[in-house]
Amino acid sequence: MTPNLGAGWPAPVQPAPPALLRLGWDEGWHRLWQQAGLPGSLPARVMRTHRGRCVALGSVGETELVSDSQRSQAAVAPATGDWVLYSTDTDGSAVIDTVLDRRTSIVRRDPASRVVKQTLAANLDVAAVLHGLDRELNLAQVERFCVLAADSGAEILLVMSKADLLQARPERESVRRSLEESVPGVGIVETSSVMGKGLDQVRQAAAGNKTMVLLGPSGVGKSTLANALLGAQALAVGAQGAGATHTTVTRELVLLPEDGVLIDSPGLRAIGLWEADAALDEVFGDIAALGADCRFRDCTHRSEPDCAVVAAVHEGAVDFERLVRYQRLWSEIAEQSEAHAERVRMQSRGRRGRKPRRRVRRR
Ligand SMILES: [Zn+2]
């Protein structure tokens, strides 16, 4: 259907300004802009947000934008990476009119609550999940970030960072094999920000003005990798000394030199999953596929008869610890989902404000 834009509606600038294209603007976004029916509005991409205000980058450079408080109750709160349309108010302030529909987003459980979700970043093409080679491989952690990445809708890239700190090649190969087994079919890159190793491969993943987000726990070298990718225009990195727990990031969305957009948000370190059951089955595709042959459709692969997954564990086809990690993530998602459903039920009964009854269901 072609939207009727009406008389007097000025056709948006054709072609789109290079600054927008550089930020990932394309025909699809252009169409949404036209369809929004907001004459005079300008598009910009959110670089960071803070309490109802955000800084966005558009064809006129960086602009501080205000979310319209009267309308923002019903509207979507902007997140880093969002495309917004804004216009200038009579008092000169730039106000967000609308947030364009997200293509992908990283959504987590609010750390302070099991029943509220938070969008941490939007419109990502590639989610790079980092594992630091200077530490023991924590597969549960890597898998958790991969489930989050798969749930966002972005393509996953595994990054073995700090390769300079694990010189022995057999050890690096062994880590690579474990990662390949844990998250099959995903690209893996080895990097060293110190030696400049693998940086071109990471940049290549963002080529074509794609947006890449860096995911991983504290200390895996996200900011150092971001700085290496950015070259001269570096992000602020926290002090490396003892007791330094915070890494200050002044900007969350930045343009990579020449091509690509990078999001390195401090919020992307502690992650509680939110309704990510489909993504869980994507990352644990082997277990999900076997589960189709279990006798019961809702088999928990624990003690049910004729369980194809347990049979595969006995045969050695599936690693028992991998099954346990899957079950843990599954339980976490189920508990969050149940708590959220409870809250929705209570709200619909008009008992808003009372805390949901604590319910722990184990699979
Ligand atoms: Zn089963």
CA 325 to centroid of ligand 1, rounded, Å:
15
CA 293 to centroid of ligand 1, rounded, Å:
8
CA 15 to centroid of ligand 1, rounded, Å:
55
How many percent of the chain have pLDDT more than 90? 56
Confidence of residue 215 (pLDDT cuts 50, 70, 90): very high
At residue 1, the pLDDT reads 42
Report the number of secondary-structure helices (H) and strands (E) in the chain. 10, 13
Alpha carbons 78 and 55: distance in angstroms, whole number: 10
pLDDT 10s digits, 8-30: 444 554 567 788 999 999 999 99
pLDDT 10s digits, 284-335: 999 999 999 999 998 999 999 999 999 999 999 999 999 999 999 999 888 8
User: Cβ distance 280 to 330 under 8 Å?
Assistant: yes
Domains and CATH numbers, the chain: 18-99 (2.40.50.140), 105-268 (3.40.50.300), 284-348 (1.10.40.50)
pLDDT 10s digits, 23-56: 999 999 999 999 998 888 999 999 998 777 889 9
Over 59-123, what HEC string results?
CCEEEEEEECCCCCCCCCCCCCCCEEEEEECCCCCEEEEEECCCCCEEEEECCCCCCCEEEEEEC
CA 319 to centroid of ligand 1, rounded, Å:
14
Confidence of residue 232 (pLDDT cuts 50, 70, 90): low
CA 316 to centroid of ligand 1, rounded, Å:
15
At residue 77, the pLDDT reads 85
| Lookup: tokens for 329 | 């993530």
Residue with the bigger pLDDT between 363 and 40: it is: 40
CA 130 to centroid of ligand 1, rounded, Å:
31
Mean pLDDT score, 239-256: 55
CA 106 to centroid of ligand 1, rounded, Å:
30
Q: For all residues of the chain together, what is the average pLDDT?
A: 84
| pLDDT of 202 higher than 80 | yes
CA 289 to centroid of ligand 1, rounded, Å:
10
Residue whose C-alpha is closest to residue 44's, from 14, 27, 24: 24
CA 148 to centroid of ligand 1, rounded, Å:
24
Indicate the SS3 state at residue 53. Answer: strand
Mean pLDDT score, 64-91: 80
CA 309 to centroid of ligand 1, rounded, Å:
5
